[in-house]
Amino acid sequence: DVKVTQSSRYLVKRTGEKVFLECVQDMDHENMFWYRQDPGLGLRLIYFSYDVKMKEKGDIPEGYSVSREKKERFSLILESASTNQTSMYLCASSPRSGWEPQHFGDGTRLSIL
């Protein structure tokens, strides 16, 4: 079974802090994704990566950056956290084709105070 592990289930941070969300997958997948999910808005793609050191902007990249130094790890960075970034963050991975189903981690519920 594919295992996608996110570093924290729940996280509370303060406005202005730099926040790191970590994601690791164990299936040697090329593609990794970061989404946020808010009530009524569905899943929104923040960033994705097709390969090590490679990143592509999704639909809502503003206020976020990412890092992929190793194939199995994809980090999401909130440069200066704001209250409107309070959300559920979901990491996913998929094999080489962008059309393959994605496998999700458990999610990180992030609160910015």
Partner 1 sequence: RKEVEQDPGPFNVPEGATVAFNCTYSNSASQSFFWYRQDCRKEPKLLMSVYSSGNEDGRFTAQLNRASQYISLLIRDSKLSDSATYLCVASGYSTLTFGKGTMLLVSP
Residues found near partner 1 in the complex (CB under 8 A): 31, 33, 40-43, 45, 48, 56, 58, 88, 90, 98-107, 109
By beta-carbon proximity to partner 1, the closer residue of 4 and 19 is 4
Alpha-carbon distance values, 89 to 80, 97, 104 (Å): 16, 23, 10
Q: Which among 29, 16, 17 has a CA at the least distance from the CA of 91? A: 29
By beta-carbon proximity to partner 1, the closer residue of 25 and 102 is 102
By beta-carbon proximity to partner 1, the closer residue of 28 and 101 is 101
By beta-carbon proximity to partner 1, the closer residue of 59 and 79 is 59
Closest approach of partner 1 to the CB of residue 89, in Å: 11
Query: What is the rounded distance in angstroms from the CA atom of residue 86 to the CA atom of residue 100?
Result: 29
Alpha-carbon distance values, 54 to 41, 92, 100, 104 (Å): 27, 16, 19, 20
- Taking residue 34's Cβ as centre, other Cβ atoms within 10 Å add up to 24
